[in-house]
């Protein structure tokens, strides 16, 4: 480039110096005309210098492009050879052992070539509508479609196709389904060749005879025969639109797959588009939409069909239809065939046993290895081949409402925020609507209220009202953030969800739901769900192999807190009973059920440290089941049957107990602030006296009674007690619920006076008098009955006489009955206590007791503790509990409990169904240091209950 000499600004006169508005100095060496002239001269000289360089650059890039195009084009087939297909090799899908073929995508391609004249016009029109509306106008490719796809790919990072029908034919018949720009160039070149060589109708004919329709079905004639059992020329408009819809994604839109509803949606879209293009009338389209479609039953040999179709869909998305159908892959899956058979049998039996009784026809089950995320069993419906229940729909992949089975996610999120399993919330009916627009007042399953409960009690008993309160306290974003970490994909539109999410107000997929529970089982480590161990090509080269992708998404102690609640059978016994189908004999297991409103869906999910199983029960069309069809009744038996068999022969695994959480804040540590406890007479409403009968005496809390919002700022629960709790929008609603509950239960709340007067209707002179004449105290009774003679009176008259043996009511009589014969045939031999009670109309009471020794000929069952001994000091756990049984063959079951000597709360340990005259049970979990009483409730064959002797121990 030549040197250009600019005039020295310092030599310019001041008159030529100008200051710009921006503060810079510009210079001029003369009038403006001279300056413009000099600039034009400069640009001409620069253009002469740069032009050769630019020309050389363009030529260089043109040569490179030509060379690239030549290299890409050198192996392209000619237009005359487009229908020559390579020999295909069978692709096989195996179980995890590689010994059993679940499905063989065999190489016998189904293809029958037919002339275009045998194809109905509306099928041609449907195909053009669905795939390429400008087919008869372009020359093999659409520049606008290519540009549009490039822009989308650049902006989104995806690889969207802008293919014409000709290009799709080339991609499927000649090239691979690989999404690269090199293959795209080849596709364009061949498409141009074909458009130059053949007419549009010839191209359409080749397309219709070659396009894949799924599996080994190629061409429209094979598709018509395979799916509808008829030749192409006999297809209806509705059936034609279906065949036009499938090639876009043959595996996804397969009539035998999990997306049949999406196939029908696409069919309707095509029909509506045909109306817009004036191919058919609106009336024809509506008639086609309403036509009942009958698909030919699938006759291919297939094991675990829902799982196989799931695998095919994954492979299709990753590698393309042609690759998986023709390249001889060996796909080794994670499926455990033994567990799959157990799962299928459990599902079928569950539907057969309870389906008619509770009004459901379908069920689904999925099971995962918690430590790897591998799918071990997948049953998408009760019968894959049953069209009446939409059996080919894989419900494990479908969003359904989970009911209360979503509660553990909410509770876990609350523990992260700072709440604890001991946190107290009032279970009282509450209206959560603060706008006055629409009342939202959820109720518990049994429409009861339990007053103050801990979060442990609320989750274990699946109480709805505390769960909704906890959702508010935790915050929707915190809950959904945790759900996303756990792997749920159905919560993207957060604006849809409100407080009812905890009761199942949002849909989840069973597979993702089970994976979330698996994350709790692994103490917060999420393993990505994986159904494939390895894929080999036809040359045995590994092209994909399982790698455990895991991530720590939850603190260990938080996960243990949730698991500890879900695995505590004694904590849920007050609702579900002890030893229900939610437990497994001899091994710890964490379990939760779910039931949606009006019984549309029922769930049970549960896990050991290494195995998780989720079960859904309901109807494919979402029809409601019969009342009472809750998860514990119809889903739990299926879950229990699978887990029992799947874990048979495996050693029991223990969960690790969480550390005790103490915050120093009473309401979070399980201490209710209920004020002074006083005893009142429920008949007079006044303070009880020594003459107030026990039956009318009630202990109540006085002073202030408040729900948790009085004590915590919901966004900082472990912070200071809020100075103005009323500023929380839910405060008054929650307090109103507590006040209403307290009034119904005669509990005096803040602002009400404490009673000062004493009971004045139960007086000393009105107290009844009673004596037992016979039998005498400590008398021996040899018969199976006892005759009781009484002497008694009451100033107001005796209204009722009650007879109790060992504190169990045996018989009653109106008025005073001086002689009564009581049946003793259900009693064990030994000493018993007889108590007689008489009452007047105000419940004034007199009672007397004596002991008698029964030595009847047929003694009833009895339990005698042999280990540990009474008063033993226990230092180590597990603790072996041993007992001898008398007449064990008359015992139906034995429920063992323990209680602290400082508390009246009963804690369930286990249920024994004796098989001999003794038992030995290992009590694994220590209740903590302290003095305890162990005892058993014995039930005979008639379900009559007897209580064993109490065994005192110190831990």
Reply yes or no on whether 131 is catalytic.
yes
CB 139 within 8 A of CB 192: yes
End-to-end CA distance of the chain: 98
Q: How far is residue 607's CA from residue 408's CA, in Å, rounded to a whole number?
A: 13
704 is catalytic: no
> Considering only CA atoms, which of 893, 904, 888, 903 is closest in space to residue 936?
893
Q: How many CA atoms lie within 13 A of 193 on its CB side?
A: 17
| Beta carbons of 709 and 729 less than 8 angstroms apart | no
Catalytic one among 131, 449, 512, 523?
A: 131
HEC assignment per residue over 206-226: HHHHHCECCCCEECHHHHHHH
Q: What is the C-alpha to C-alpha distance for residues 281 and 722, in angstroms, rounded to an integer?
A: 68
Is residue 613 a contact partner of residue 366, using CB atoms and an 8 Å limit? yes
Query: Hey, what are 620's tokens?
Result: 């494919």
894 Ramachandran zone, left/alpha/beta (phi>0; psi -120 to 50): beta
Compute the distance between CA of residue 124 and CA of residue 204 in angstroms, rounded to an integer. Answer: 8
DSSP 728: S
Sign of CA dihedral 657, 663, 667, 670: positive
- Tell how strand 101-105 and strand 91-94 pair up: antiparallel
Residue of 404, 422, 500, 632 with catalytic role: 404
Q: At what angle do helices 407-417 and 510-521 cross, to 10 degrees?
A: 40
58: left (phi over 0), alpha (psi -120 to 50) or beta: alpha
CA 767 to chain centre: 61
Alpha helices in 685-843 (DSSP H): 731-744
User: What secondary structure letter does DSSP report for 363?
Assistant: E
Q: Which two tokens stand for residue 420?
A: 């604890």
Half-sphere exposure of 374 (CA within 13 A, CB side): 20
What are the two backbone dihedrals, phi and then psi, of residue 489, each rounded to the nearest 5 degrees?
-115, 10
3-state secondary structure of 201: helix
How far is 100 from 301, CA to CA, in rounded Å? 12
**Beta bridge mates, 454:** 424
Query: Catalytic site residues?
Result: 131, 404
């Amino acid at each position: 480039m030549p040197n250009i000499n600019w005039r020295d600004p310092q030599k310019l006169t001041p008159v030529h110096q100008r200051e710009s508005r921006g503060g810079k100095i510009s210079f001029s060496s003369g009038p403006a005309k001279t300056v413009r002239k000099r600039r034009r001269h400069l640009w001409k000289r620069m253009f002469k210098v740069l032009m050769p360089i630019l020309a050389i650059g363009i030529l260089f890039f043109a040569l490179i492009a030509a060379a690239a195009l030549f290299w890409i084009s050198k192996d392209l087939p000619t237009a005359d050879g487009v229908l020559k297909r390579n020999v295909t090799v069978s692709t096989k899908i195996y179980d995890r052992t590689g010994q059993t073929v679940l499905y063989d995508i065999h190489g016998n391609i189904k293809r029958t070539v037919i002339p275009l004249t045998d194809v109905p016009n509306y099928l041609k029109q449907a195909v053009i509508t669905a795939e390429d509306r400008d087919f008869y106008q372009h020359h093999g490719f659409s520049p606008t479609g290519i540009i549009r796809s490039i822009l989308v790919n650049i902006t989104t990072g995806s690889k969207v196709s802008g293919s014409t029908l000709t290009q799709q034919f080339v991609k499927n018949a000649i090239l691979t389904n690989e999404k690269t720009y090199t293959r795209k160039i080849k596709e364009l070149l061949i498409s141009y060749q074909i458009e130059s060589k053949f007419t549009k109708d010839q191209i359409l004919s080749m397309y219709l005879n070659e396009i894949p329709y799924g599996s080994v079905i190629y061409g429209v004639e094979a598709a018509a025969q395979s799916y509808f059992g008829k030749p192409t020329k006999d297809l209806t408009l509705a059936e034609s639109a279906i065949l036009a819809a499938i090639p876009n994604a043959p595996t996804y839109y397969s009539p035998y797959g999990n997306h049949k509803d999406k196939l029908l949606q696409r069919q309707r879209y095509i029909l509506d588009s045909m109306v817009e293009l004036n191919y058919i009338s609106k009336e024809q389209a509506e008639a086609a939409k309403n036509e009942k479609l009958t698909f030919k039953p699938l006759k291919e040999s297939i094991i675990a069909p829902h799982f196989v179709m799931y695998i095919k869909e994954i492979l299709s998305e990753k590698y393309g239809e042609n690759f998986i159908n023709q390249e001889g892959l060996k796909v080794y899956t994670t499926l455990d065939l033994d567990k799959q058979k157990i799962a299928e049998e459990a599902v079928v039996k569950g539907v057969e046993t309870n389906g008619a009784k509770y009004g459901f026809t379908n069920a689904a089950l999925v099971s995962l290895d918690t430590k790897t995320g591998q799918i071990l069993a997948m049953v998408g419906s009760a019968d894959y081949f049953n069209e009446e229940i939409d059996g080919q729909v894989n419900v494990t992949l479908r969003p359904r409402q989970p009911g209360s089975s979503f509660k553990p996610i909410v509770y876990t999120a609350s523990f992260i925020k700072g709440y604890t399993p001991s946190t107290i919330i009032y279970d009282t009916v509450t209206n959560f609507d603060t706008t006055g627009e629409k009342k939202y007042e959820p109720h518990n399953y049994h429409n009861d209220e339990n007053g103050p409960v801990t979060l442990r009690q609320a989750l274990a008993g699946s109480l709805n009202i505390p769960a909704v309160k906890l959702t508010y306290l935790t915050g929707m974003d915190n809950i959904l953030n945790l759900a996303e970490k756990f792997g749920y994909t159905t919560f993207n539109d957060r604006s849809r969800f409100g407080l009812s999410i905890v009761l199942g107000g949002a849909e989840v997929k069973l597979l993702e739901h089970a994976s979330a529970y698996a994350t709790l089982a692994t103490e917060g480590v999420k393993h990505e769900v994986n159904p494939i161990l390895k894929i080999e090509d036809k040359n045995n080269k590994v092209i994909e192999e399982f790698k455990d992708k895991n991530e720590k998404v939850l603190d260990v102690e938080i996960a243990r807190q949730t698991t500890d609640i879900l695995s505590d059978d004694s904590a849920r016994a007050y609702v579900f009973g002890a030893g229900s189908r939610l437990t497994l004999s001899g091994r710890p297991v964490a379990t939760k059920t779910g039931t949606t409103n009006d019984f549309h869906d029922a769930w049970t999910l549960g896990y050991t440290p290494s195995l998780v199983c989720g079960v859904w029960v309901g109807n494919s069309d979402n029809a409601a089941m019969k009342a009472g069809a809750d998860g514990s009744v119809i889903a739990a038996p299926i879950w229990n049957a699978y887990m029992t068999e799947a874990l048979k022969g495996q050693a029991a695994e223990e969960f690790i107990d969480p550390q005790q959480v103490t915050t120093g804040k009473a309401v979070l540590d399980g201490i209710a602030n209920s004020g002074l406890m006083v005893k009142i007479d429920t008949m007079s409403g006044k303070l009880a006296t020594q003459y107030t009968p026990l039956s009318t005496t009630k202990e109540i809390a006085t002073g202030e009674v408040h729900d948790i919002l009085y004590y915590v700022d919901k966004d900082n629960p472990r912070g200071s007690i809020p100075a103005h709790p009323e500023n929380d929008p839910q405060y008054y609603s929650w307090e109103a619920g507590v006040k209403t509950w307290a009034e119904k239960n005669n509990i005096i709340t803040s602002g009400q006076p404490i009673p000062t007067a004493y009971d004045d209707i139960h007086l000393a002179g009105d107290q009844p008098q009673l004596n037992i004449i016979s039998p005498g105290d400590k008398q021996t009774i040899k018969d199976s009955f006892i005759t009781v003679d009484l002497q008694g009176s009451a100033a107001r008259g005796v209204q009722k006489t009650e007879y109790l043996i060992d504190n169990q009511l045996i018989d009653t009589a109106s008025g005073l009955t001086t002689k009564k014969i009581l049946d003793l045939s259900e009693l064990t031999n030994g000493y018993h206590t007889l108590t007689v009670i008489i009452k007047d109309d105000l419940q004034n009471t007199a009672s007397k007791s004596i002991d008698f020794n029964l030595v009847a000929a047929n003694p009833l069952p009895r339990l005698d503790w042999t280990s540990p001994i009474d008063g033993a000091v226990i230092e180590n756990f597990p603790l072996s509990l041993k007992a001898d049984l008398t007449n064990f063959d008359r015992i139906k079951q034995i429920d063992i409990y323990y209680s602290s000597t400082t508390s009246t709360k009963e804690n369930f340990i286990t249920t024994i169904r004796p098989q001999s005259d003794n038992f030995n049970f290992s009590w694994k979990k220590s209740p903590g240091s302290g003095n305890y009483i162990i005892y058993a409730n014995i039930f005979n064959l008639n379900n009559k209950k007897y209580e064993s002797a109490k065994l005192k121990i110190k831990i």
